[in-house]
Amino acid sequence: MPRKSPESFIPIKSNWFHILVSLADGEKHGYANMQEVFERSGGKVRLWPATLYGSLKRLIENGLIRESGERRARELDDARRRYYKLTALGGKVLDLESERLRDLVRILNAKRGQEARS
């Protein structure tokens, strides 16, 4: 399968964006991703298990994240947990989507500024 360009993913699904943001500061297991998204959004975004694990699977299939081979010490962790980390492609996609969202906010702010002066 030919490798996709980062631009081909834009815009990305909201739940994908939240997962990529969650992994931006390092690897996490699935449940930790779910908790971080919920907490970071002030409870406004909840990734239910079916959505989370389906998204993780598709993010892996598309090369945006990968399962990490590194694990915490066995006595400190649950052996069933899978840890995930961003790939270089995933980082580029996250950067592009973040830039797209910033541009949308700039457009909105400019439009509101123009309307306020009218």
Mean confidence (pLDDT) of the chain: 89
Question: Is 93 exposed, middle or buried (CB count within 10 Å of its CB: 0-12, 13-18, 19+)?
Answer: buried
- The residue type of 52 is L
Tell me yes or no: is domain 11-117 CATH 1.10.1200.10. Answer: no
Residues ≥6 apart with Cβ < 8 Å to 109: none
pLDDT band with cut points at 50, 70 and 90 for residue 113: confident
Question: Per residue in 68-81, pLDDT tens?
Answer: 876 555 545 566 68
Contacts 24+ apart (CB under 8 A), 100-103: 100/10, 100/11
pLDDT at 68: 87
| DSSP for 38-78, written as a single string | HHHTTTS----HHHHHHHHHHHHHTTSEEE-S----GGGS-
High-pLDDT (> 90) share of the chain, %: 78
**Tokens linked to 101:** 């969202």
Looking at 19-28, 43-52, 72-81, which range is the least confident one?
Answer: 72-81
Mean pLDDT of 25-54: 95
